[in-house]
Chains A and B, each alone.
Chain A
Amino acid sequence: MQRRTRLVVITFLAPAVLLYASFIVYPFVSSIRYSLYNYDGVGPLTDFVGFKNFSYILFSHAFAGQFWRAVWHNFYFFILSMALTTVFGLGLAYLLVRVRESISRWFQVIYFVPMVVPPVVVAYLWAMYLEPNDGAIPTILQDLHLYKLNIPFLGSEVWALPTIAVITAWAGMGLPILIFVAALIGVPNEVIEAAKADGASQFRTFVSVIFPIIKPTFLTITTLNFVGAFGAFDYIYIMEGTQAGPNYATDVIGTLFYRTAFGGFGTTAQGVGLATALAVLGFVIVMAVSAILVLLQKRASADLF
């Protein structure tokens, strides 16, 4: 490469690379370094402890229970999000490509709206509706005499996390719908006609013909949902506080990490070394699963051709 061209490339790359390296890559590497120390965040790193923070998180009597409970909650949240995304995201996208395109676009705009509403607003809107004494939803359920369904949604250890998953889905369905619509538009009409000509039912056509074609997209959505579920924080923090109540029933890695790093109500152990070790374990889970999903996605797209 000519010297002049090299200079141009460096000039174009430098701002983005410097910014990204300083505030993403460097902190990421620092996380790994801090996780090997007993460190309270002030002064030099001196007390090297090797993998002690990790073994404390993974095996200790005091902390391991909290960690594995949080991991399970993240995983449970992921499963709930996937179920909701499959039914509503894929379902609505399927309906959207069957109606007139100009009308379909308006629906897509509407479904995307909650994605631009701040989580603070979404959280308080639904907290207000779910308020056990005189919130709209309990009132409606009372009026319909559906007493069995009138549970303390956000205050119940069993139902708090599913309720938050539904609220998250309500707010975040716009993007998966758009991505599924884009994929479904790409399904060639001939294969659907061919299936119909062979006498396949609509459901059968979807399962055996359409789904295999959009499988790579489905796996992309799975990856997005996984990263999203393991990054869950905002709604739980706003609606259930730092202690992720009731009785830690909504505690995820995000909230456990927040308490371990910055303290707050419900904190049992705190420290920079411990918090970063927790974060590193979080990276390992998310990056490993994402890598597998991306590989599966590459294979699924390769299978199509």
Chain B
Amino acid sequence: MEAKISRRKFLKLSGVAAFSPFIRLGDVVSPRTKAPTPTDFGVEKRVPLRCRMCAQQCPAIGIVKDGKLIKMEANPHLPYSGICGRSRSTPAAVYNPDRLKYPLLRVGKRGEGKFKRISWEEALDRIAKVLKKYRKEAPEKVVYLPRFTSAAGIDKPFWHLYGTPNIISYADTCHSAGHDWGLGGYFGRPISPGAVWMDYPNAKFGVLAMRNPGGGLCVYQFGTFFAEGKRNGLRLVSVDVRFPNESIEGAGHRWLPIRPGTDPAFHLALAHVIVKKKGYDEAYLIEKTNACMLIDPETLEPFKAVIEEKEEKKGDKTVKKRTMRYLVWDEAQGKAVFKSQASKPALLGEFEIEGKKVITAFEAISRALERYTPQWAEKITTVPAKEIEAIAEELIKNKPQVFVDTGWYSERYANSLRQFHAIGLVNTLLGCWEKKGGIGGIPKVKLHGVLPKVKKPKRIQITKYYQKKEGYPFIIPKAGRRFVFEALRTGKPYEPKVIFAMGQNFIGGSAGSVELIKLLDKVELIVCMTPFMDESCLYADIILPDTMFPERNEALHVKFKQSFPTVAMNMKAVEPPFEARPGDWVMVELAKRVLFSEEFEKYFGDFVRGGWEYGWRKQLEGLDEKYPGITLERLKKEGVWYGKQNYKIKKKTLTHEIEIFSLTFLETYKKFKEKGYPFAEYANPLPSWAPPFWWEEKKGQLAEDEFILTTGFSPLNSFTGGQTRNNPLLREIWDQIGLDRLWIHPERAQKLGIQDGDVVEVFPAHNPEIRATARVWITPLVHPDALFTYYGVGAGVFSQLKKFLVFLPEHGVNMNHFSKLHFAPLQGGHATQDVIIKIRRA
């Protein structure tokens, strides 16, 4: 066929010649002359890293081109690998213009934010001078607060060698110890969030309360697990003050709004329904728990139980193992016998033995639960009774492939110990522990130290003092940062004189920030080491610019909240900017200046000469016998080693069973009741409701302008560190979804005459002088009694920070700034949300 060339076609063809960049040739567009390929990135190096954009260290791969970190990827050598958006935004944190570049010395008043550049030499000499003075006088007055430490494996031995027992983490502002001992009662040891995992992939139904796995996302830890659960069709109910859309958007899920701080009532009512309907796993309770234990109904003491001591060989050590043998009512024999001799132990019932009335522990629990009806709970929680019944039904029907999530960030209210005790009870009734589809225990590999072992100094640790002497038996001593400030307030047991914060933002991250800074006058030297300015740096005398994780080698890490034991590597991928230096270098430099030379040689000599190559080999020495394949070569190449999945949960109870009737709680309960301690009820081994502080104060009724300010994590931010809250790339998305806003219920907003998008002033009722501004989002996704804001957005009360962190949003509040320096009864958590907050139009 002959082509006809029309005038138009001719024009078009000539146009091709004249304007070829713009024209199609027929319908095919020629490919780009130089089609880019990934190899064009000239990817030279893929370096194993552990992400530290939040604290969880998900194994990752850093991609380095021309000496720059250009991307982060998930480590592909793991079964449930993954990293989140924060992690992927690492390059925007590493090359952030607001990074701290040089050591700084304070020149203005503390808090003023005036500093001058000094040399490392000067900074280290100044610190060493003060440390030397206190090493002679009272080394315990030096407090080391590690968080995002860049000196893991080096710092602890150094400070112990120096002579201070006060190495104290921040977990009291997170999960310690309401979560840890609330659940820990059942296992006779603290159950931290790193002790158990929810089997999301195999569960059929779950209740999310105090965890939003999508919001407080830790990917390798449980994020990929959770997503697999969702892909498998897991149904979820979330009991939350706000709609946690990260986790439960989609079909098959429900949101039940709950009044802030009343969760224990909800869980108690669940337990009530499960027991009432006999929906518990009877065989499990009899076999695996101490539910059948005969106790005295008055004193709650186990009836005629005996404690046996046995010596057991553990390696080359002999350890004493104490075991309680207790009586049960054997229905087969019609009498009380030791459990091991009973063929049919009674779960419920009241019996008479030798003229004495006894009941089973489970009978006591059932009786205690009588009053916690769903109707009772509805009045407190606002969750409808019929919803509570429906959830209980679902749990019963699908058990044991169900869970009530054991949560994470618990230290929000005074009653968190009771809350997690109640969560533990529901999970025990349903027999979820150690079951596929339920809740498993997290296994860990034990590595050797990088440096030779150093004994913990004998001097009294601040937290231990409060645990032993001041009514906080459930403190976890290594995790009680705020007691350092309590020590400043009370002078007991002594006033700390030096605070060295390694990546800890102890001001922005602790409830009562404003109260706390007033106490700092008593501290002689405050040193903050971090890559970004934060609230604490504003009050520091010396600021040391830290590296970010891709800029340093680090000790191997094993603490992953995963069902597989995991070891992971972090290797230096790029050079630190300006004069940023890693913490291990700083510790060695301080050790040189502060320790005696023979001490230094004995403990640091090999490490200084051999570097991390030596350190890593030391950590792994002899381990490949027990864990095949765990070699440094593999870790350097693949970045990770992992073992077999585990469900078993380690128990340290006296009965070696899961103690549904906790003897640990009983002991404390008795002791504190005798003393007449007002909060003794918090240690009751039986189910028991305890209100939050605010409920007591307001008799459960908030006034028109009063709220409880609640927080939750966003997958696009973490904590109060500049790496995420001052990240230009994350900020772009914050702006798109309004992440910095303060959520308020429409009816409450209307009563206060507040419009959507208004900027409001937020302040605590107990101190209206503490003020910060926030932009309001009027939304039906939040409980009327609550305000909600994502954690750590904006500068809050410390507006001076905006000068140092240019990507912070203009408005935004941090609950810690408003809260009080108060402590949750018995366990010392920071109960940050447990104060009354007011708002008014700015």
To the question of whether A and B form a pair in one complex, the answer is no
- Contacts from A to B (Cβ < 8 Å): none
Residues in chain B within 8 A of chain A (CB atoms): none
